[in-house]
Homo-oligomer: A and B are copies of this chain.
Amino acid sequence: MMGTVTPAYDTLTALQLRLHHLGHMQALATWDRMTQMPAGGASARAAAQAELAQLLRDLKHDPSLHAQFGLAEREPLSELKRVNLQLMQREQRLSQAVSNDTAARVLQCSDATMATWNSARQANEWQSFSAPLTRLVAAVRDEAEQLGQALGLSRYDALLERHEAGLRTLRVKSLFGEVTQWLPRLIQQARDRQSTEDVIQPEGPFPIETQRQLCQTIIGMLGFDFERGRLDASAHPFTGGVPEDVRLTTRYKEGTFLPALLAAMHEAGHACYFQNLPREWLGQPLTEPHSAALHEGQALSFERQLAPSLAFAQALSPLLKTAFGTQVAFEPHNLSRMMTRVQPGPIRVEADELTYPAHIILRTEIELELIDGALNVDDIPAAWNERMQRLLGVDTRGYLSQGPLQDVHWARGMFGYFPTYLVGAMVAAQCNAAMRADMPDLDVRIAAGDLGCVGSWLKPRVWQVGAQFNAEDLLRQITGEGLNPDCLRRHFERRYL
């Protein structure tokens, strides 16, 4: 065997590749569980996946890695390899900062909270959920404390860092504070303008097989490569699999076709990003998501920037007529109106793009205070109701299941994730503005059915860059400035005013 000049680095990348291969099996098993597995297979699958997860943890936590990192740092590495090494070290720090006891406690508390979540939602009551969530928040605070100590960050900053490299609480407060300034008024203006607008509802049924073919056609036009992936159905749409074989899903209802199509377009954004990560780095942290907002930004580029536009409606209209027969509702202006209807409501996942930021701001404020200790779990419902009223004018008093019980995130111990949804919307708006500046004929091309031009723009700028830069730095490189909520505001103003 030839010796290499970077033996420690090579050892570390070989381990990464091994983890990538075993992670492939895990990703496949998860996809199968959500899309194919018969109910009776659940417990055997859980045991099998737990076994592999333990094996992956053991490999990642091999104590001999520490010495390899020390050696690799002093090896002669190219710039990209050095970034890759730093990302490995980041991952190591994140996964080793939390003691086994605390990690186990978070998991245990999360299981206990999840166990009450569904029944609490169904019973529309806070009491039974509050006790386990209180314990879970305490455990997550300990986890955040340990993470923060290892990373030199505050508790909430540490939780943010896990999902969004480089994002800090101060930045979130500043970005979201700006949005809070202009959002309520903008929503009001949009609703006033839409109050005289007629929207014709399409008449179903829309056969599911036809919907499936339509989704397949559209995401193919967006650039999804069916030679290296599949579209299936699942209860909750998601993108899974591996970059070499991406599995995205949507869900169908016979009575309506837009939800399935929009969910498929959303997932196609994630999926195209996934498929176009640089092949030669697959398995290395350089291609692993370290920015949930960049990922969400790709999904929203398709679902929120592209789909509701009149240009897209012009491309979609003839396809709908071919698929389901001609209806007045399929005229482009009506389609676009359907997809841009603003209607404040209590449920985040049903919210339109204009009221959506309010849902995120509310959750971010509350979880920040929970982690800081400024708010107790028992105070969540009141804080929720007050903010929903203030931000959206929606009265959620007494509707806990449509209030703080609607999301699974907190019950799963996932704090610090919600902000990335809104940061993702900013990423999408900012990229879209830059794309429009680069392609003055964008709308003409889209209206003519060239949906691929969006991906062609994103591909070299975002998808193929992988994890070299965090969201701010990548935006700076593409658009000349870091995150700028004004882009989101201008996008809303252009579309809704």
- A52 within 8 A of partner (CB): yes
If A51-B18, A226-B38, A227-B38 touch, whether A244 touches B24 (CB-CB below 8 Å) is no
- A55 within 8 A of partner (CB): yes
| List of B residues within 8 angstroms of A67 by Cβ | none
- A48 within 8 A of partner (CB): yes
A43-57 to B contact mask, C-beta < 8 Å, 1/0: 111011111100100
If A22-B52, A44-B244 touch, whether A230 touches B28 (CB-CB below 8 Å) is no
Contact between B48 and A25 (Cβ–Cβ < 8 Å)?
yes
| List of B residues within 8 angstroms of A228 by Cβ | 38, 40-41
- A277 within 8 A of partner (CB): no
Contact between A45 and B24 (Cβ–Cβ < 8 Å)?
yes
Contact between A44 and B24 (Cβ–Cβ < 8 Å)?
yes
If A32-B32, A55-B55 touch, whether A245 touches B25 (CB-CB below 8 Å) is no
- A225 within 8 A of partner (CB): yes
CA of A227 to CA of B40, assembled, Å:
5
| List of B residues within 8 angstroms of A40 by Cβ | 225, 227-229, 244-245
| List of B residues within 8 angstroms of A227 by Cβ | 38-40
| List of B residues within 8 angstroms of A51 by Cβ | 18, 21-22
- A36 within 8 A of partner (CB): yes
Contact between B230 and A43 (Cβ–Cβ < 8 Å)?
no
Query: Which residues of chain A in 16-44 are interfacial with respect to chain B, using CB atoms and an 8 Å cutoff?
Result: 18, 21-22, 24-26, 28-29, 32, 36-41, 43-44
Among A32, A44, A226, A229, the most chain B Cβ lie within 10 Å of the Cβ of A44
- A160 within 8 A of partner (CB): no
| List of B residues within 8 angstroms of A32 by Cβ | 28, 32
- A242 within 8 A of partner (CB): yes
A43 to B, closest residue via Cβ = B244
A472 to chain B, nearest CB (A): 32
| List of B residues within 8 angstroms of A36 by Cβ | 36, 230
Contact between B21 and A52 (Cβ–Cβ < 8 Å)?
yes
| List of B residues within 8 angstroms of A50 by Cβ | 21
CA of A228 to CA of B39, assembled, Å:
7
A263 to chain B, nearest CB (A): 20
CA of A18 to CA of B228, assembled, Å:
31
| List of B residues within 8 angstroms of A43 by Cβ | 244
Among A18, A48, A225, the most chain B Cβ lie within 10 Å of the Cβ of A48
A387 to chain B, nearest CB (A): 44
Among A43, A226, A245, the most chain B Cβ lie within 10 Å of the Cβ of A245
| List of B residues within 8 angstroms of A26 by Cβ | 25
Query: Which residues of chain A in 210-230 are interfacial with respect to chain B, using CB atoms and an 8 Å cutoff?
Result: 225-230
A224 to chain B, nearest CB (A): 11
| List of B residues within 8 angstroms of A39 by Cβ | 227
| List of B residues within 8 angstroms of A244 by Cβ | 40-41, 43-45
A39 to B, closest residue via Cβ = B227
Query: Which residues of chain A in 80-139 are interfacial with respect to chain B, using CB atoms and an 8 Å cutoff?
Result: none
A143-165 to B contact mask, C-beta < 8 Å, 1/0: 00000000000000000000000
Contact of A48 among B22, B45, B49, B225 (CB under 8 A): B22
If A38-B228, A230-B36, A230-B38 touch, whether A245 touches B44 (CB-CB below 8 Å) is yes
CA of A49 to CA of B225, assembled, Å:
23
| List of B residues within 8 angstroms of A38 by Cβ | 226-230, 245
CA of A229 to CA of B225, assembled, Å:
30
| List of B residues within 8 angstroms of A49 by Cβ | 25
A16 to chain B, nearest CB (A): 12
A32 to B, closest residue via Cβ = B28
A-B pairs, top 8 by smallest CB distance, nearest first, are A41-B245, A44-B244, A40-B228, A21-B51, A24-B48, A40-B227, A21-B48, A25-B25
A-B contacts, 10 of them at CB < 8 A, read A22-B55, A24-B44, A25-B25, A38-B227, A38-B228, A38-B229, A38-B230, A39-B227, A40-B245, A44-B242
